[in-house]
Structures are given as C-alpha cells and as structure tokens.
Amino acid sequence: MKNHWVEIVAIWALVAISAGVLMWRFPATWHSPEFAFGTILAGAVALVSLIQLFRAQPQGFVKRLVYVSGGSYLILAIDTLIISLAG
C-alpha cells in the first residue's frame, strides 16, 4: 500500500489545482463554482478507477478508492467553505 500513496496524493493535488483554477478563473458573479465541484470529484474517482484498470494487482483498490474520494471530498468541502466565506 505504501507505493499507492504517490498516486493518491497526486490525484489530491490535481483536485486541489482544478478547484483552485475554477475558483480563480470563474468568480461567483453569475454562477457558483460549487456546482462544478461534483464533476471534479467524479473525475477523481474515475481517474483512480482508470488507473486500476491498467494494473494487474487488484489488492487495495477499495482502500485507494476510499482515500481518493474521501480526500477529494474534503478538499472540495474546504474550497466551498472558502467560497461561502469570501462571498
């Protein structure tokens, strides 16, 4: 499981960067970026599933899926809180 942390943290970083770009590029003037956060979360889960598809070892898939989805959800929840407090 130790070698899987690199991919988990990389996906978390992609989620954080995607959310940051979305919040910075599209400020909440005519829409709310929180609605696009669901797409980012779905993309993170799809990415870890796609990585699993090309792996030959099925051990630890559920743990990676839970870590990626849980961490991504936490990142997006914090970003939603930041948007709510800023606006």
- Whole-prediction pTM: 0.85
**pLDDT, tens digit (0-9, with 9 covering 90-100), for 51-87:** 988 887 788 889 999 999 999 999 999 988 887 887 6
| Lookup: tokens for 35 | 């609605």
Quote the number of domains for the chain: 1
CA distances from 70 to 29, 65, 74, 84 (A): 29, 8, 6, 21
**pLDDT of 15 above 90:** yes
Give the range of the structural domain holding residue 80, as residue numbers without chain letter: 2-86
Buried b (16+ CB within 10 A) or exposed e, 51-80: bbeeeeeeeeeeebbebbbebbeebbeebb
